[in-house]
C-alpha cells in the first residue's frame, strides 16, 4: 500500500514538473511553437521563421511604459536596428478579446503607423502565446535564435521606469543581445526582469 502511494506521488510529481516545463518557456530552451493571426487576418507561425533570429515584443498601446518607448522613438529605432541585422520582429498584443475584435487590429495598425514602427508583423493573441512564453509585462522582450531556442528574455532596457528621460542613460538589452549573437558571442545578460504594465490576460 505504502509503495503504491509512493509510486503515485512520483508519477504525479513527474506530471507536474513536465507540465510546468511545457507551460513556461525560458532561456536555453526551445521557444514554444505558435501560429497566430496578424492584424491583417493572415496566419503568422513561428515555424515559418526558422533559420532566422526572431524578436517577440509584448505590446499594448495604452500602457504608459509602452508609450515611453514608442513616443520617444526608442522602440521603433530598436526595430530598425533589428531589421538592419536581418532579425524578424513580431509585436504581440495579448488581450482577452484580441482575436475577435476588429477594432483592436485596426487601432494597432494605425498606432504603429503613427509611431513609425516597423515590426515584421503585429500578432493578435488571446492569451495562448502569452501563457506559453510566460509573458508578464508590456513591454516584455524575447530573442529566439535560428535553431528555435530562446536566447534572451526580459526587459527592453536596464532602467525600469516610465520616464522617457531615463532611456538615454540605460542599456538597451535587446540591441545588446542582437549585437552579441550576431558577433557570434553568448548573450551577456540572457535573462533580466521585465518591467511595465501587466499583460492583459482574460481572467
Residue 67 or 80 having the CB closest to other proteins: 67
If DSSP codes are grouped into helix, strand and coil, which group holds residue 174?
helix
Q: Which residue has the cell 528621460?
A: 165
Is residue 49 near other proteins by the rule CB under 8 A?
no
* Residues 172-191 within binding reach of other proteins (CB under 8 A): 187, 189-191
Residue 28 or 146 having the CB closest to other proteins: 28
The answer to whether 52 and 87 are in contact (CB under 8 A) is yes
If DSSP codes are grouped into helix, strand and coil, which group holds residue 80?
helix
C-alpha cell recorded at residue 193: 526582469
Closest distance between other proteins and the C-beta of residue 189, in Å?
8
* Residues 56-75 within binding reach of other proteins (CB under 8 A): 62-65
When binding is defined by CB under 8 A, the residue of 116, 163, 171, 185 that contacts other proteins is: 163
C-alpha cell recorded at residue 180: 552579441
88-94 and 54-58 strand pairing = parallel
Q: What is the rounded CA–CA span in Å between residue 15 and residue 22?
A: 11
| SS3 letters across 57-93 | EECCCCCHHHHHHHHCCHHHHHHHHHHHCCCEEEEEE
Site string for other proteins, 98-137 (x = CB under 8 A): ---------------------------------x--x-xx
Residue 29 or 35 having the CB closest to other proteins: 29
Point out which residues bind other proteins (CB under 8 A): 9-11, 13-14, 17, 20-21, 24-29, 62-65, 131, 134, 136-137, 153-154, 160-163, 187, 189-203
Amino acid at each position: 500500500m505504502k509503495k503504491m502511494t509512493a509510486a503515485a506521488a512520483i508519477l504525479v510529481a513527474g506530471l507536474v514538473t513536465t507540465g510546468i516545463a511545457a507551460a513556461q518557456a525560458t532561456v536555453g530552451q526551445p521557444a514554444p511553437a505558435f501560429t497566430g493571426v496578424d492584424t491583417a487576418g493572415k496566419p503568422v507561425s513561428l515555424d515559418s521563421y526558422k533559420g532566422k533570429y526572431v524578436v517577440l515584443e509584448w505590446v499594448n498601446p495604452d500602457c504608459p511604459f509602452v508609450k515611453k518607448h514608442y513616443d520617444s522613438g526608442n522602440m521603433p529605432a530598436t526595430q530598425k536596428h533589428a531589421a538592419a541585422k536581418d532579425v524578424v520582429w513580431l509585436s504581440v498584443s495579448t488581450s482577452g478579446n484580441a482575436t475577435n475584435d476588429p477594432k483592436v487590429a485596426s487601432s494597432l495598425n494605425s498606432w504603429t503607423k503613427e509611431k513609425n514602427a516597423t515590426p515584421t508583423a503585429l500578432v493578435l493573441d488571446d492569451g495562448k502565446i502569452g501563457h506559453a512564453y510566460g509573458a508578464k509585462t508590456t513591454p516584455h522582450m524575447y530573442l529566439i535564435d535560428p535553431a528555435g531556442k530562446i536566447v534572451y528574455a526580459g526587459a527592453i532596457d536596464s532602467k525600469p521606469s516610465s520616464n522617457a528621460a531615463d532611456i538615454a542613460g540605460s542599456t538597451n538589452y535587446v540591441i545588446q543581445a542582437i549585437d552579441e549573437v550576431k558577433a557570434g558571442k553568448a548573450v551577456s545578460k540572457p535573462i533580466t526582469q521585465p518591467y511595465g504594465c501587466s499583460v492583459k490576460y482574460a481572467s
